[in-house]
Amino acid sequence: MQIEWPRQIGVVPPLADCRQHRPSDVALAAAVENTSVTQVLVGLGGVGKTQLAANLAHRMWQDGDVDLLVWVTATSRSSIIAAYAQAIAAATGFTDTEPEQEAARLLTWLANTSRRWLVVLDDLIDPDDLTGLWPPNSLRAGRTVVTTRRRDAALVAGRQVIDVALFTPEDSVAYLNAKLIGLPDLNNDPDGLAADLGYLPLALAQAVAYMIDRNLTCDGYRRRYATRQLQDLTPLSLPDQHRAIVAATWQLSIEHADRLTAGLAQALLKLAALLDPNGIPTELFTTSAALSYCITGARQTDDDDVRDALNVLRQLSLATLADDDRVLRVHALVQRAVRDGTPPDTTPALAQAAADALLESWPDAEREVALEQARRSNTGALLENSGNSLLRPIIHPVLNVAGISLGNTGQLAAALDYFDSLYEKSRRLLGDLHPDTLTTRNNRATFRQKAGDIAASVREFEEILRERSEVLGVDHPDTLTTRNNLATCWGEVGDSTGAAKALALLADDFSRVLGSDDRRTLTTRSNAAHWRSETGDDAGAVAAYQAIVNDLERIFGAQDHDTFVARSNLARARGRGGDSAGALASYEELLADRVRILGPHDPETLATEHLVAIWRGRLGDLKGAIGVADDVRQKAESLLGGTHPEVLRIRNTRARLLGEVGDLDAAIHEFYNLVGDRTSILGYAHPETLTTRHNLADCLGRSGKLEEAIKLAVATLEEARRVSGPDDPLTLTMQATVARLYGERGDAAMALSLHSDLVERHERAHGPTHQVTFAVRHNRAHWLAEAGDIGGSIEALVELLNDQLDSLGDSHPGLISTLHALALWQGRVGAYDDAVSNAIRSLQLAIKEFGRSGHLALTARENAAYWLARRGDKPIALRMYRILLADQERILGPDHPDVSTTRNQIKDLWLNS
């Protein structure tokens, strides 16, 4: 029998344009064409694997590169054998009644023939169907191409695997532009349509056909896509001879996955279909909530079963696993097809299971930024895909947790928008006075407070307190929580005494209602201790915090999160009470424990390390503090990202330390960058943004740029007064800086006026013996002297010193600056004995508190030497200066301004001695 060549066996799909000539497919097409080894094209159903293989087959056939082209629809072993039998008959002219023998004969012929051949095994469903039927690797005469969704190791091992991906956004738009080139009115939003369809080639092709059939624009298709099932968007005829509509493309794979996993794969896909296609933490699927939902019949399901099922979904290209299998991704259209096939009456239970799994997997403290963001994104997707299932009859707790997480990462504007939206949904579905509506409203008010809008927060908390008292009762824990929030707002607007008293009463009520050992009782006691410290009662606050630490260790253990927090609060109170060395030692001990328990890169560990840097700086170890700040900043940025609130706080601390060590240019540069970042993230009027602008103005002033500093400081002060009011603590701090800058410019009268106003405000708010009041009284005395009334300044400082001695005792570090100032002005009027006496007292306290090398101790040593020299004790002064110079050069560096001052003093003394 005479055989005519070339011969084509099987129906090759027509040349298709869906994956032709796209820029991102050039390399892919080249990889498919330019090889002679067996290739396996793998990818999600609908990405265009068959079209790539068909384009290769058409090109090779038309160019005369093959004598035998065999196209096999490889959906079953029988279909493969039948195609092989047909092919060998066509190649040799002989037939056999036994198809299995015919198939074997074809494989032998392919291995030995000199004819050029191409075998395409399209849409292989089960790799076992090719057992014993793989065409030979014939580098001389032939090649094999397989298209499949399977990723089994047995299928791809030893063969060239080509992943066929989705279109890029640019390719998708190019495809739509090409298909609708004669219908520009329809092509009004190609970007939006491509994004909706997840850049899936099959979906784009069918969408274009549907649009043309119905003269429908991109916008019109998108509206239907948002409200109809996929099967309702089928074109009159499928383009490019596609075998299935989008809605049915993955059904066989899903059914096969179900058979391989005893039904578990479909249960997991149903959960995943409600979540975020861009990435679902796989830990969700091994929570007890997910496992309970996935139990099939009497068979229990465990973590290993889930992991195996997820891998089956990956092997069948129904999903991908990324980040060391920690993240599952399912294409949005696969999700849509699964949702469309899920009975509506089962959606509420499914949504509840997914929400319970999300909530169960949410950690108490943020550990990984990417996973935290993924949980929030999945919560948003779940809310969108589940109708009102998570909104009634109650608001699912995960919805509030997601919003709180958003705000706690510093995205305050986004958190407020989130809770605005959730609050309106809750009002509409549950009513204004439903407990969950009030909870959502409470959370919204909390983030208003954190955003700096304290006045609005106070009003809202007052309304919530009234409504919760009426609906839930005055002793309900939620009502008590609102009382806590309201009292905290009072403290933040300057009423520390009112906040402390209210929280002390609230702690008693929590203890009565929930018991003295309840966490909320202990938290309220801690809040009361904080505001007690703000009133100036640092000793009382230290005692209160120590009692709280003792109770937490007794009830929950030394390694409990709340115990660590209480220890941090205790360390802060010690520092505020004058025991800076004790505060640093406590923080360093806490840091060691957190490193041991949580690890060196845990966010709470980093926050404690940041506090170590702060207190090292306060003790005068500025270079050591900068080193710690640099280290913790690098670790925090790596873990949390460069714009996380804690990272911004660390950057603020580092910039401030740079200014204190004398590197004003570096500090100014960092503060400028930080102002920009905090403005974009937190907002222009957020307290932390205003604080950074204040710090920048301070550094500008110290660098000699007084006009620029005053302009910035005045604008910041006006903004603080507008947002927080004239008596807010931050406003008053900024007013003090503005006053100092005016004074340094030479306007001592303005500085004195502003400080006199500050004294009145602080005495009214805190009384005359509060430490903050002491500080502004000190500043007022300084500008009184600068304005020409040195005698009045000395009298004011003496009165201040006596009040401090009565209130703080004779060894408190708060006396150091007062004694230093007294020495200054007494020396200015020639009272050198008094000046030396007070300078030496100041030096003794500074060395006791900070050591000889502390920043304040260095200043006090210079001050004492200066007044000794003025009194005539030049040899002693010269010896002190020389020892001081060596320490300054070692600690501050040879170029620090203080070092230059000491050198000049030594030179003057030596020349005049």
Burial of 128 by CB count in 10 Å (0-12 exposed, 13-18 middle, 19+ buried)? Answer: exposed
Distance CA 769, CA 777 (A): 10
Residue 33 has pLDDT above 70, yes or no: no
**pLDDT band at residue 17 using 50, 70 and 90 as cut-offs:** low
pLDDT mean over 274-302: 85
pLDDT of residue 244: 64
Q: Is 162 helix (H, G, I), strand (E, B) or coil?
A: strand
The neighbour count for residue 311, using CB atoms within 10 Å, is 16
What are the angstrom distances between the C-alpha of 633 and each of 412, 597, 600, 624, 640? 22, 21, 13, 14, 10
- DSSP sequence for 692-733: HHHHHHHHHHHTT-HHHHHHHHHHHHHHHHHHH-TTSHHHHH
Which of 26-30, 828-832, 897-901 is predicted with the least confidence, judged by mean pLDDT?
26-30
Residue 911 has pLDDT above 80, yes or no: no
Distance CA 426, CA 418 (A): 12
121, containing H or E segment? strand 117-124
Residue 841 has pLDDT above 50, yes or no: yes
**502 with 492: CB under 8 angstroms?**
no
pTM beyond 0.85: no
pLDDT of residue 20: 52
pLDDT of residue 23: 46
- Pair of tokens at residue 716: 């910041």
Residue 545 has pLDDT above 90, yes or no: yes
Which of residues 156 and 670 earns the better pLDDT score? 670
Residue 777 has pLDDT above 90, yes or no: yes
Residue 298 has pLDDT above 60, yes or no: no
Q: Is 8 helix (H, G, I), strand (E, B) or coil?
A: strand
- DSSP sequence for 59-95: HHHHTT--SEEEEEE-SSHHHHHHHHHHHHHHHHS--
Q: What is the largest CA-CA distance in the chain?
A: 130
pLDDT mean over 538-555: 95
Average pLDDT, the chain: 89
Contacts of 850 (CB under 8 A, 6+ apart): 580, 581, 619, 620, 813, 856, 857
pLDDT mean over 102-125: 91
pLDDT of residue 627: 95
Which of residues 176 and 138 earns the better pLDDT score? 176
Residue 238 has pLDDT above 70, yes or no: no
Residue 297 has pLDDT above 50, yes or no: no
Residue 516 has pLDDT above 70, yes or no: yes
Distance CA 292, CA 221 (A): 39
Residue 252 has pLDDT above 90, yes or no: no
Q: Which residue has the tokens 């040593």?
A: 861
395, containing H or E segment? none
The neighbour count for residue 153, using CB atoms within 10 Å, is 8
Name beta bridge partners: 322.
327
Torsion, Cα 196 198 202 203, to 10 degrees, reads: -20
| Separation of first and last alpha carbons in the chain | 127
Residue 885 has pLDDT above 60, yes or no: yes
Q: pLDDT tens, 720-745?
A: 998 878 888 889 999 999 999 999 99
Q: pLDDT tens, 609-631?
A: 999 999 999 888 888 999 999 99
pLDDT of residue 322: 85
**pLDDT band at residue 15 using 50, 70 and 90 as cut-offs:** low
pLDDT mean over 476-486: 96
Q: pLDDT tens, 309-361?
A: 999 999 888 898 888 889 999 988 889 989 988 999 999 999 999 999 999 99
Q: Is 123 helix (H, G, I), strand (E, B) or coil?
A: strand
Contacts of 210 (CB under 8 A, 6+ apart): 216, 221, 233, 234, 235
Written in H, E and C, the secondary structure of 799-818 is HHHHHHHHHHCCCCCCHHHH
